[in-house]
Protein backbone atom coordinates (compact mmCIF):
# COMPACT_ATOMS: atom_id res chain seq x y z
CA UNK A 1 0.00 0.00 0.00
CA UNK A 2 1.54 3.35 -0.99
CA UNK A 3 2.49 5.43 2.05
CA UNK A 4 3.23 9.15 2.27
CA UNK A 5 6.67 9.09 0.53
CA UNK A 6 5.33 6.94 -2.33
CA UNK A 7 2.28 9.19 -2.81
CA UNK A 8 4.57 12.24 -2.67
CA UNK A 9 6.79 10.74 -5.39
CA UNK A 10 3.82 10.17 -7.70
CA UNK A 11 2.51 13.69 -7.04
CA UNK A 12 5.94 15.12 -7.94
CA UNK A 13 6.08 13.04 -11.13
CA UNK A 14 2.58 14.13 -12.15
CA UNK A 15 3.44 17.78 -11.41
CA UNK A 16 6.38 17.59 -13.84
CA UNK A 17 4.51 15.77 -16.59
CA UNK A 18 1.12 17.50 -16.42
CA UNK A 19 2.12 21.13 -15.86
CA UNK A 20 0.24 23.42 -18.28
CA UNK A 21 -1.51 20.48 -19.96
CA UNK A 22 -5.28 20.06 -19.65
CA UNK A 23 -7.95 17.37 -19.76
CA UNK A 24 -9.69 17.49 -23.15
CA UNK A 25 -12.02 14.56 -22.48
CA UNK A 26 -13.01 12.43 -19.49
CA UNK A 27 -13.90 8.75 -19.94
CA UNK A 28 -15.23 6.78 -16.99
CA UNK A 29 -14.52 3.14 -17.76
CA UNK A 30 -16.07 1.64 -14.63
CA UNK A 31 -18.49 3.42 -12.33
CA UNK A 32 -17.17 2.54 -8.94
CA UNK A 33 -14.04 2.29 -6.87
CA UNK A 34 -14.27 2.82 -3.10
CA UNK A 35 -16.57 5.71 -4.05
CA UNK A 36 -18.45 6.35 -7.29
CA UNK A 37 -16.19 7.83 -9.98
CA UNK A 38 -17.50 11.17 -11.33
CA UNK A 39 -18.89 11.02 -14.87
CA UNK A 40 -17.97 13.51 -17.58
CA UNK A 41 -20.79 15.88 -16.60
CA UNK A 42 -19.66 15.93 -12.98
CA UNK A 43 -16.09 16.55 -14.15
CA UNK A 44 -17.02 19.48 -16.38
CA UNK A 45 -15.55 22.01 -13.91
CA UNK A 46 -12.04 20.57 -14.37
CA UNK A 47 -12.23 19.60 -18.05
CA UNK A 48 -10.53 22.00 -20.44
CA UNK A 49 -8.77 23.92 -17.66
CA UNK A 50 -4.98 24.22 -17.62
CA UNK A 51 -3.28 22.19 -14.90
CA UNK A 52 -1.43 24.59 -12.61
CA UNK A 53 0.04 22.21 -10.07
CA UNK A 54 -0.17 18.77 -8.46
CA UNK A 55 0.19 18.60 -4.69
CA UNK A 56 0.06 16.04 -1.92
CA UNK A 57 -1.88 16.42 1.33
CA UNK A 58 -1.49 13.44 3.68
CA UNK A 59 -1.90 10.40 1.39
CA UNK A 60 -4.06 12.25 -1.13
CA UNK A 61 -3.04 13.82 -4.44
CA UNK A 62 -4.79 17.02 -5.57
CA UNK A 63 -4.58 18.17 -9.19
CA UNK A 64 -4.94 21.96 -9.24
CA UNK A 65 -6.72 23.57 -12.20
CA UNK A 66 -6.52 27.11 -10.86
CA UNK A 67 -10.11 27.21 -9.66
CA UNK A 68 -12.20 26.04 -6.72
CA UNK A 69 -12.38 22.45 -7.89
CA UNK A 70 -9.56 19.92 -7.71
CA UNK A 71 -9.25 16.31 -8.81
CA UNK A 72 -8.56 14.43 -5.59
CA UNK A 73 -6.94 11.00 -5.87
CA UNK A 74 -6.45 8.39 -3.17
CA UNK A 75 -4.45 5.39 -4.35
CA UNK A 76 -5.92 2.97 -1.82
CA UNK A 77 -3.89 -0.23 -1.73
CA UNK A 78 -3.09 -0.78 -5.41
CA UNK A 79 -3.96 2.37 -7.37
CA UNK A 80 -1.58 3.83 -9.96
CA UNK A 81 -1.51 5.98 -13.11
CA UNK A 82 -0.24 5.19 -16.60
CA UNK A 83 0.76 8.09 -18.83
CA UNK A 84 1.06 7.10 -22.49
CA UNK A 85 1.86 9.07 -25.64
CA UNK A 86 -1.38 7.95 -27.27
CA UNK A 87 -4.53 6.14 -26.27
CA UNK A 88 -3.58 2.58 -25.33
CA UNK A 89 -5.50 -0.37 -26.77
CA UNK A 90 -6.07 -2.07 -23.43
CA UNK A 91 -4.84 -1.38 -19.92
CA UNK A 92 -5.76 -3.95 -17.29
CA UNK A 93 -7.79 -2.74 -14.27
CA UNK A 94 -8.37 0.69 -15.88
CA UNK A 95 -11.18 2.76 -14.30
CA UNK A 96 -10.71 6.28 -15.67
CA UNK A 97 -9.08 7.48 -18.88
CA UNK A 98 -8.23 11.14 -19.45
CA UNK A 99 -7.38 12.43 -22.90
CA UNK A 100 -4.98 15.36 -22.54
CA UNK A 101 -4.68 18.40 -24.80
CA UNK A 102 -1.08 17.35 -25.50
CA UNK A 103 -2.39 14.17 -27.18
CA UNK A 104 -1.30 11.93 -24.33
CA UNK A 105 -3.55 9.68 -22.26
CA UNK A 106 -3.59 9.45 -18.46
CA UNK A 107 -5.23 6.28 -17.14
CA UNK A 108 -6.05 5.43 -13.54
CA UNK A 109 -5.83 1.72 -12.70
CA UNK A 110 -6.65 -0.08 -9.47
CA UNK A 111 -6.78 -3.90 -9.31
CA UNK A 112 -8.28 -4.05 -5.81
CA UNK A 113 -10.57 -1.01 -6.19
CA UNK A 114 -9.84 0.59 -2.82
CA UNK A 115 -8.76 3.89 -4.39
CA UNK A 116 -10.98 6.87 -5.04
CA UNK A 117 -11.35 9.80 -7.45
CA UNK A 118 -13.35 12.91 -6.55
CA UNK A 119 -13.99 16.42 -7.79
CA UNK A 120 -13.72 18.52 -4.65
CA UNK A 121 -12.22 21.58 -2.99
CA UNK A 122 -9.11 21.60 -0.81
CA UNK A 123 -9.73 20.54 2.80
CA UNK A 124 -10.33 23.42 5.20
CA UNK A 125 -7.93 22.01 7.79
CA UNK A 126 -5.05 19.55 7.85
CA UNK A 127 -3.91 16.88 10.27
CA UNK A 128 -0.29 17.22 11.45
CA UNK A 129 2.18 15.49 9.11
CA UNK A 130 5.47 13.84 10.18
CA UNK A 131 7.78 16.65 9.09
CA UNK A 132 10.06 19.09 10.85
CA UNK A 133 8.06 22.10 11.98
CA UNK A 134 4.77 20.19 12.10
CA UNK A 135 5.19 17.15 14.34
CA UNK A 136 6.54 18.13 17.77
CA UNK A 137 7.16 16.28 21.07
CA UNK A 138 4.53 18.50 22.72
CA UNK A 139 1.92 17.53 20.13
CA UNK A 140 2.81 13.85 20.48
CA UNK A 141 2.62 14.12 24.28
CA UNK A 142 -0.90 15.54 24.07
CA UNK A 143 -1.94 12.85 21.58
CA UNK A 144 -0.59 10.05 23.79
CA UNK A 145 -1.86 11.41 27.10
CA UNK A 146 -3.90 8.79 28.98
CA UNK A 147 -4.25 6.67 25.84
CA UNK A 148 -4.28 2.91 26.38
CA UNK A 149 -3.97 1.91 22.72
CA UNK A 150 -0.61 0.70 21.39
CA UNK A 151 1.78 3.44 20.37
CA UNK A 152 2.05 2.03 16.85
CA UNK A 153 -1.72 2.11 16.40
CA UNK A 154 -1.77 5.69 17.63
CA UNK A 155 0.94 7.04 15.31
CA UNK A 156 -0.72 5.24 12.39
CA UNK A 157 -4.08 6.86 13.16
CA UNK A 158 -4.62 9.24 10.23
CA UNK A 159 -6.50 11.64 12.50
CA UNK A 160 -3.43 11.92 14.78
CA UNK A 161 -0.55 11.93 12.28
CA UNK A 162 -1.37 12.12 8.58
CA UNK A 163 0.50 9.83 6.25
CA UNK A 164 2.42 7.57 8.61
CA UNK A 165 1.76 3.98 7.53
CA UNK A 166 2.87 0.52 8.59
CA UNK A 167 6.37 0.48 7.09
CA UNK A 168 7.51 3.86 8.33
CA UNK A 169 5.81 3.51 11.72
CA UNK A 170 7.73 0.26 12.31
CA UNK A 171 11.00 1.87 11.24
CA UNK A 172 10.39 4.95 13.40
CA UNK A 173 9.68 2.91 16.52
CA UNK A 174 12.81 0.82 15.89
CA UNK A 175 14.94 3.95 15.50
CA UNK A 176 13.45 5.37 18.72
CA UNK A 177 13.95 2.10 20.65
CA UNK A 178 10.25 1.73 21.55
CA UNK A 179 8.21 -1.47 21.33
CA UNK A 180 5.24 -1.09 18.98
CA UNK A 181 2.84 -2.67 21.50
CA UNK A 182 3.65 -0.28 24.34
CA UNK A 183 0.57 1.61 25.63
CA UNK A 184 0.79 5.11 24.16
CA UNK A 185 0.16 6.70 27.56
CA UNK A 186 3.17 4.92 29.08
CA UNK A 187 5.77 6.80 27.02
CA UNK A 188 7.98 9.20 28.97
CA UNK A 189 8.92 12.70 27.69
CA UNK A 190 12.37 11.53 26.59
CA UNK A 191 10.87 8.64 24.63
CA UNK A 192 8.33 10.93 22.96
CA UNK A 193 11.12 13.26 21.92
CA UNK A 194 13.05 10.36 20.39
CA UNK A 195 9.96 9.04 18.62
CA UNK A 196 9.09 12.44 17.22
CA UNK A 197 12.62 12.87 15.83
CA UNK A 198 12.61 9.30 14.46
CA UNK A 199 9.29 9.75 12.61
CA UNK A 200 10.56 12.93 10.98
CA UNK A 201 13.94 11.43 10.07
CA UNK A 202 12.47 8.25 8.59
CA UNK A 203 9.79 10.02 6.51
CA UNK A 204 12.07 12.80 5.26
CA UNK A 205 14.72 10.26 4.19
CA UNK A 206 12.12 8.25 2.25
CA UNK A 207 10.65 11.38 0.63
CA UNK A 208 14.14 12.37 -0.55
CA UNK A 209 14.75 8.85 -1.89
CA UNK A 210 11.51 8.99 -3.84
CA UNK A 211 12.28 12.36 -5.42
CA UNK A 212 15.81 11.22 -6.24
CA UNK A 213 14.37 8.24 -8.13
CA UNK A 214 12.63 10.52 -10.66
CA UNK A 215 14.11 11.45 -14.01
CA UNK A 216 13.85 14.88 -15.61
CA UNK A 217 10.81 13.57 -17.48
CA UNK A 218 9.62 10.79 -15.16
CA UNK A 219 7.80 7.76 -16.44
CA UNK A 220 4.37 7.36 -14.86
CA UNK A 221 3.18 3.77 -14.52
CA UNK A 222 2.77 1.06 -11.89
CA UNK A 223 6.46 1.34 -10.96
CA UNK A 224 6.56 5.09 -10.22
CA UNK A 225 5.96 4.57 -6.50
CA UNK A 226 8.52 1.76 -6.28
CA UNK A 227 11.93 3.06 -5.22
CA UNK A 228 14.70 1.82 -2.98
CA UNK A 229 14.35 2.53 0.73
CA UNK A 230 16.33 1.15 3.65
CA UNK A 231 14.20 -0.86 6.06
CA UNK A 232 15.91 -2.24 9.15
CA UNK A 233 13.02 -4.01 10.87
CA UNK A 234 9.93 -3.97 8.65
CA UNK A 235 9.21 -7.44 7.22
CA UNK A 236 12.40 -8.82 8.82
CA UNK A 237 10.81 -11.43 11.11
CA UNK A 238 13.33 -14.00 12.43
CA UNK A 239 16.29 -12.09 10.98
CA UNK A 240 19.15 -11.01 13.25
CA UNK A 241 18.68 -7.45 14.49
CA UNK A 242 20.92 -5.15 12.41
CA UNK A 243 21.54 -2.89 15.41
CA UNK A 244 22.43 -5.15 18.35
CA UNK A 245 23.26 -8.35 16.40
CA UNK A 246 22.03 -10.31 19.43
CA UNK A 247 18.28 -10.85 19.08
CA UNK A 248 16.07 -12.07 16.28
CA UNK A 249 13.37 -9.76 14.98
CA UNK A 250 9.96 -10.74 16.35
CA UNK A 251 6.48 -10.03 15.03
CA UNK A 252 3.24 -9.12 16.79
CA UNK A 253 -0.17 -8.26 15.35
CA UNK A 254 -1.40 -4.72 16.04
CA UNK A 255 -4.77 -3.61 14.69
CA UNK A 256 -4.69 -6.53 12.29
CA UNK A 257 -1.28 -5.56 10.86
CA UNK A 258 2.04 -7.30 11.31
CA UNK A 259 4.55 -5.34 13.34
CA UNK A 260 8.20 -6.36 13.57
CA UNK A 261 10.52 -5.25 16.37
CA UNK A 262 13.71 -6.19 18.22
CA UNK A 263 12.96 -7.38 21.77
CA UNK A 264 16.44 -6.31 22.85
CA UNK A 265 16.61 -2.82 21.31
CA UNK A 266 12.99 -1.82 21.75
CA UNK A 267 11.65 -1.52 25.28
Map out the domains of the chain with their CATH numbers. 4-120 (3.20.190.10), 137-217+228-261 (1.10.8.50)
The pLDDT tens digits for 84-134 are 998 877 788 999 999 999 999 999 999 999 999 999 999 999 999 999 999
92 carries an active-site annotation: no
SS3 at position 22: strand
Q: Torsions phi, psi of 104, nearest 5?
A: -85, 170
The pLDDT tens digits for 208-249 are 999 999 999 999 999 999 999 989 999 999 999 999 999 999
188 carries an active-site annotation: no
35 carries an active-site annotation: no
Whether the CB-CB separation of 181 and 152 falls below 8 Å is answered with yes
31 carries an active-site annotation: no
The pLDDT tens digits for 181-210 are 999 999 999 999 999 999 999 999 999 999
Helix count and strand count (H, E) for the chain: 5, 10
The pLDDT assigned to 27 comes to 96
Distance CA 98, CA 245 (A): 52
Q: Which of 59, 72, 175, 194 is catalytic?
A: 59
The pLDDT tens digits for 46-82 are 999 999 999 999 999 999 999 999 999 999 999 999 9
Distance CA 3, CA 166 (A): 8
Distance CA 161, CA 38 (A): 29
Q: Which of 34, 50, 55, 257 is catalytic?
A: 257
pTM above 0.85, yes or no: yes
Amino acid sequence: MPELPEVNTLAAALAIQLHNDSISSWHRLSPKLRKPIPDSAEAASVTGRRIKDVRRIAKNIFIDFGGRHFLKIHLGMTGYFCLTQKQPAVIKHAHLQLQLASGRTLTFCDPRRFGSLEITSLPAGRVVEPFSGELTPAYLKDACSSRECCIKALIMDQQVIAGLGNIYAAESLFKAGIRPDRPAGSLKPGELKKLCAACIEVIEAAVKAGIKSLDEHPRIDDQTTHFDIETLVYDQQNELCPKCRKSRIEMVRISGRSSCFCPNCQK
